[in-house]
Amino acid sequence: MADLYRIFGAEPSPYSVKVRSYFRYKAIPHEWVVRTLDRQKEFESLAKLPLIPLVVTPDGTVMQDSTPLIEEVERRHHEPPLQPKDAGLAFLSFLIEEYADEWVNKPMFHYRWTYEADQEKAAAWIASQSMPGASVKELEKTADFIRKRMIPRLAFVGSSAQTSEQIEASYRRQLEILNAHLVHRPYLFGGRPCLADFGYAGQLYELSADPTPGLIMREAAPNVLAYVERMLFPAASGSFESWGTLKSTLAPLLKDEVAGVFLPWSKANAQAIVGGDDQFTVEIGGKPFTQNTQKYHAKSLAVLRKRYSALDRPGWLDELLNETGCTPYLKAD
């Protein structure tokens, strides 16, 4: 046990699944510790924030926040390499992972707590994970409590009657793009997974598991569903591709989703925080999208911009980011 990493997480948490898949891919010895009520005191003694996943290293270091956590573990276990050697591809992996963590989480949370069937399934799932061995009555009571607590939190991701159409259109659009992109390759950048895959697949796994978005995925995007299942136990089957072979089917994701919805939203959020505003509105899909400001998202945009600024960018990357409309959002205000 002393040589194992310990991952405190839960199956209904996309970021927990993200980290667990990474450890599985890297074949890093670890223990998956479900954060149950029985484990809560131990978890609280370790956690700085009440968030999962939480990883305890063999030397006792405690880490939270999935992306920095993975990067730190990667420094300790660098084989097989997580990112492509090509600096441009590595940056695109960071960019898509950021989009997945910060935007694809919106449809995940929206579907889960908007529709009754999804609410009931998710609440029961979370209750059963946190209270193994509990009676039916206890689970039903806990599930009802979870449901009533989570539904009002839809506002945290900007989900409302006014934004529902935009969030659901984004989900369907990305499924269409990904389904075409994954026809001839197992992972986003070719024959092996990278950071973008772990961030994206964690969110898509939750969407596939919930009734409403899961049905949409099964009917409209079977290649995406197969990808989600593959990412639970990912394994390299080839090399990373060059941008030349990826461009035709992956560039639409950058244009229509990353630059089309995510980066405008992220920039508007950051500007609102600088301006001291509690709420902001940005146009997405020709309609206003309003939500409360999110401080963490502003910090993660700053990190992304720092990566962009520090990168010795190949010419093709600048051309791509200009063509897809990403460049203006990646430059510091």
pLDDT for res 37: 93
pLDDT for res 333: 75
Provide the 3-class DSSP secondary structure of residue 39. Answer: helix
pLDDT for res 262: 98
pLDDT for res 162: 96
Tokens 């190949």, located at residue = 314
Q: How far is 52 from 230, CA to CA, in rounded Å?
A: 23
Return the bridge partners of 33, or none: 8
pLDDT for res 135: 97
User: DSSP of 273-326, one letter per residue?
Assistant: HHTT-SEEEEEETTEEEEEE--HHHHHHHHHHHHHHHH----HHHHHHHHHHT-
Whole-number CA gyration radius for the chain: 20
Return the bridge partners of 6, or none: 31, 56
Instruction: Write out pLDDT tens, residues 146-185.
Output: 999 999 999 999 999 999 999 999 999 999 999 999 999 9
Instruction: Write out pLDDT tens, residues 291-308.
Output: 999 988 889 999 999 999
pLDDT for res 183: 98
**CATH number given to 5-76:** 3.40.30.10
Tokens 């209904």, located at residue = 12
pLDDT for res 2: 56
Low-confidence ranges of the chain (pLDDT < 50): 1
Q: How far is 101 from 180, CA to CA, in rounded Å?
A: 22
Q: Where in the chain is the domain with CATH 3.40.30.10?
A: 5-76
Tell me if the bond preceding 53 is cis, omega within 30° of 0: yes
- Provide the whole-model pTM: 0.96
pLDDT for res 74: 97
Q: Rounded to the nearest 5°, which phi and psi values hold at 81?
A: -60, 135
Instruction: Write out pLDDT tens, residues 95-107.
Output: 999 999 999 999 9
